């Protein structure tokens, strides 16, 4: 469960057997403001399209790296929706997306993609 869920009580839909897209990245700055802005863009992109739900992010204390969490009915559609936003953000590098096609802990197939 992401920190967003723990604080605000909203849980990603992976518990319902839906898909997950978990994006890891290198960041390199203690200023988390740009990440919060990107998170809101991801939330809007997924919410407006109905393709999924943005569940928040985690970032290392020193700002060196982090992870975004997104859930919905189709991991490929989620990634297609958010990939341009992630790749155009100038401060993220070494983007890696883990796509899980089913419920966590149920031997759901996964794919790992390098995004940049």
- Could you read off the pLDDT of 12-32 as tens digits, one per residue? 444 445 899 999 999 999 999
Note the pLDDT of residue 17. 55
Residue 7 near residue 58, CB atoms below 8 Å? no
**pLDDT, tens digit (0-9, with 9 covering 90-100), for 18-67:** 899 999 999 999 999 999 999 999 999 999 999 999 999 999 999 999 99
What pLDDT score was predicted for residue 3? Answer: 45
User: How far from 63 is each of 17, 39, 72, 76, 116, CA to CA, in Å?
Assistant: 32, 15, 27, 28, 19
pTM of the entire predicted model: 0.82
Q: What is the pLDDT of residue 33?
A: 93
Domain assignments of the chain as residue spans, ordered by start: 29-93
């Amino acid at each position: 469960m992401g920190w967003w869920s723990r604080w605000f009580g909203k849980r990603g839909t992976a518990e319902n057997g839906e898909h997950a897209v978990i994006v890891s990245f290198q960041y390199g700055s203690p200023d988390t403001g740009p990440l919060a802005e990107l998170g809101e863009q991801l939330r809007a992109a997924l919410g407006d399209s109905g393709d999924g739900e943005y569940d928040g992010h985690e970032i290392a204390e020193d700002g060196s790296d982090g992870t975004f969490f997104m859930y919905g009915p189709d991991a490929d559609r989620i990634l297609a929706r958010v990939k341009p936003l992630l790749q155009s953000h100038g401060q993220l590098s070494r983007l890696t997306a883990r796509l899980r096609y089913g419920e966590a802990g149920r031997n759901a197939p996964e794919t790992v993609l390098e995004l940049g």
